[in-house]
């Protein structure tokens, strides 16, 4: 750590998050004089929060198809040149035990703090310095760049903007990265909270609000994409991995569709039971597949099985397999794991992360318009984009 600003460095990195620390390591390994400026006292605060405190630091299946962006191919090159295996090798070199939870999601066994310590140790051995409690206010062009900060001015040949997105302001998120991009003529794809819970509008809230805590596996569709995973009813709406992933594709006013029972055909099951002698009701049939309270709510008002008309079966099947609602809003940046949108990648080199408009200006991590799915993809993007930027800056 540093405790004062030098006059001049080769590379100033804005933000000591995942991307900033990693870019600093790579640039410093090349002999650059690197200074990371961070307005929090503690670097890597979001890493500490991540993965429930265990940091889902990568996903073995990270490839461009697991990210969305207005420019979907952009992430391909950086992801191919710095892979999950590369990051795992680094974690192994530091003796940090990890495990695969499922579907390629790798977590630290003990604590996210070990990942932060590893990054700080790498910064230290490469010679990159980190200046905490230093808020970057603006960046201007001179023979290189002139930064104005809360601790004074800093001149630098290159700048890596790794100031992250807007999610979780209470751990330091600001719009600085987008302001710098716009100041230098970059287009910023409109931002919105992503990987975030959705709030019901009043009718669904009245119907389901008391199911808070009920969870089940479901298929959730929004914006033409479907995610199958767990969902969780909250007091205000829906959360859980399938909803968080779908939220990244949701736009205000658009519908979201939930199949609560993706492995069964409820209409078929009802028809099959009709002729039987058992005492099955629509609710008990649903209850074999769904949590009881949800089954009760979906089957509310359904006649007994012997009295079900064809249109009752069609309606119930629609409720179970195509439950469609228009969310009132998301839970917002206060809880969103990431920010979708960001610096338009068509104006940034996919191999070096350097601005195509301003030589010497680089972007890395979440500030770019690249948003990963849940499960370690966003950190892998931070490492890969920062690796590309740090190798060039």
Ligand X SMILES: Cc1cc2nc3c(=O)[nH]c(=O)nc-3n(C[C@H](O)[C@H](O)[C@H](O)COP(=O)(O)OP(=O)(O)OC[C@H]3O[C@@H](n4cnc5c(N)ncnc54)[C@H](O)[C@@H]3O)c2cc1C
Q: How far is the CB of 283 from ligand X (least distance, A)?
A: 37
Residues 164-203 that bind ligand X (CB under 6 A): 164, 167-168, 172-174, 176
| Nearer residue to ligand X within complex by CB, 23 or 218 | 23
Place of tokens 């370690």: 376
Q: Does position 18 bind ligand X by CB under 6 A?
A: yes
Nearer residue to ligand X within complex by CB, 168 or 266: 168
Q: How far is the CB of 258 from ligand X (least distance, A)?
A: 24
Q: Which is nearer to ligand X, 5 or 18 (CB)?
A: 18
DSSP string, 218-240: EEEEETTEEEEEEEEE-SSEEES
**Min dist. Cβ of residue 390 to ligand X (A):** 12
Q: How far is CA 84 from the centre of its chain?
A: 17
Binding positions for ligand X, 98-157, rule CB under 6 A = 135-136
State yes or no: residue 88 binds ligand X (CB under 6 A). no
Return the structure tokens found at 137.
């206010």
Phi, psi of 381 (to 5 degrees): -65, -40
Q: Does 91 sit near ligand X (CB under 6 A)?
A: no
Task: State in angstroms the smallest separation of the CB of 79 from ligand X.
Answer: 13
Count interface residues toward ligand X (CB under 6 A). 38
Helix 292-299 with 310-321: angle, nearest 10 deg: 140
* Residue 259 in contact with ligand X, rule: CB under 6 A: no
Q: Can you tell me which of 379, 387, 388, 390 binds ligand X, judged by CB under 6 A?
A: 379
Burial of 311 (0-12, 13-18, 19+ CB in 10 A): exposed
**16 touches ligand X by CB under 6 A:** yes
Residue 360 burial (C-beta neighbours within 10 Å; 0-12, 13-18, 19+): middle
Instruction: For the chain, report the end-to-end CA distance as a whole number of angstroms.
Output: 21
Q: How far is the CB of 22 from ligand X (least distance, A)?
A: 8
**Binding to ligand X by residue 378, rule CB under 6 A?**
yes
163 contributes a contact to ligand X by CB under 6 A: yes
Q: Is 55 in the site for ligand X (CB under 6 A)?
A: yes
Q: How far apart are CA 274 and CA 280, in angstroms?
A: 9
Interaction of residue 362 with ligand X, rule CB under 6 A: no
Residues 6+ apart with CB under 8 A from 63: 76, 79
- 179 CB burial (10 A radius; 0-12, 13-18, 19+): middle
318-357 positions binding ligand X, by CB under 6 A: 337-338
Q: Contacting ligand X (CB under 6 A), which of 9, 26, 51, 282? A: 51
C-beta of 126 vs 370, nearer to ligand X: 370
Tell me whether residue 154 or residue 338 sits nearer to ligand X (CB atom): 338
> Residue 96 or residue 298: which is nearer to ligand X going by CB?
96
Residue 18 tokens, joined = 């995942």
H helices within the chain, ranges in order?
18-29, 45-53, 75-81, 84-93, 113-126, 176-183, 202-208, 241-247, 266-274, 282-287, 292-299, 310-321, 377-392
Q: Which of 9, 11, 17, 196 binds ligand X (CB under 6 A)?
A: 17
CB of 264 to ligand X, least distance (A): 32
Provide the binding-site residues for ligand X, judged by CB under 6 A. Answer: 14-20, 37-40, 45-46, 49-51, 55-56, 135-136, 162-164, 167-168, 172-174, 176, 337-338, 365-366, 376-379, 382
């Amino acid at each position: 750590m540093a405790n004062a600003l030098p006059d001049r460095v080769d590379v100033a990195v804005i933000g000591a998050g995942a991307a900033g620390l990693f870019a600093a390591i790579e640039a410093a390994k090349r002999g650059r004089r690197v200074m990371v400026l961070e307005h929090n006292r503690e670097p890597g605060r979001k890493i500490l929060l991540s993965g429930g405190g265990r940091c889902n630091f990568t996903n073995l299946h990270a490839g461009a198809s697991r990210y969305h962006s207005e420019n979907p191919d952009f992430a391909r090159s950086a992801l191919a040149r710095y892979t999950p295996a590369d990051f795992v090798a680094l974690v192994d070199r530091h003796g940090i035990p990890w495990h695969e939870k499922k579907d390629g999601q790798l977590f630290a066994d003990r604590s996210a703090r070990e990942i932060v310590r590893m990054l700080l140790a790498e910064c230290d051995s490469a010679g990159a310095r980190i200046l905490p409690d230093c808020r970057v206010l603006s960046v201007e062009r001179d023979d290189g760049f002139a930064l104005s900060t809360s601790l004074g001015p800093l001149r630098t040949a290159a700048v890596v903007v790794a100031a992250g997105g807007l999610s979780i302001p209470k751990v330091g998120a600001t719009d600085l990265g987008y302001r710098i991009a716009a100041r230098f003529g970059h287009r910023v794809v409109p931002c919105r909270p992503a990987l975030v819970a959705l709030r019901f509008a009043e009718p669904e809230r009245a119907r389901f609000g008391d199911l808070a805590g009920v969870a089940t596996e479901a298929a959730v569709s929004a914006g033409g994409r479907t995610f199958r995973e767990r969902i969780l009813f909250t007091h205000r709406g829906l959360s859980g991995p399938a909803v968080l992933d779908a939220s990244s594709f949701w736009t205000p006013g658009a519908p979201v569709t939930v199949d609560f029972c993706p492995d069964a055909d409820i209409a078929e099951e009802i028809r099959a039971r009709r002729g039987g002698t058992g005492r099955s009701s629509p609710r008990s049939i649903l209850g074999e597949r769904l949590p009881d309270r949800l089954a009760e709510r979906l089957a509310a008002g359904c006649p007994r099985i012997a009295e079900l008309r064809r249109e009752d079966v069609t309606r119930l099947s629609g409720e179970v397999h195509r439950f469609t609602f228009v969310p009132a809003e998301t839970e917002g940046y206060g809880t969103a794991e990431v920010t979708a949108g960001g610096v338009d990648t068509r104006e940034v080199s996919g191999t070096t992360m350097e601005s195509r408009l301003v030589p010497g200006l680089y972007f890395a991590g979440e500030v770019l318009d690249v948003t990963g799915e849940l499960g370690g993809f966003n950190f892998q993007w931070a490492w890969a984009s920062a690796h590309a930027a740090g190798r060039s800056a």
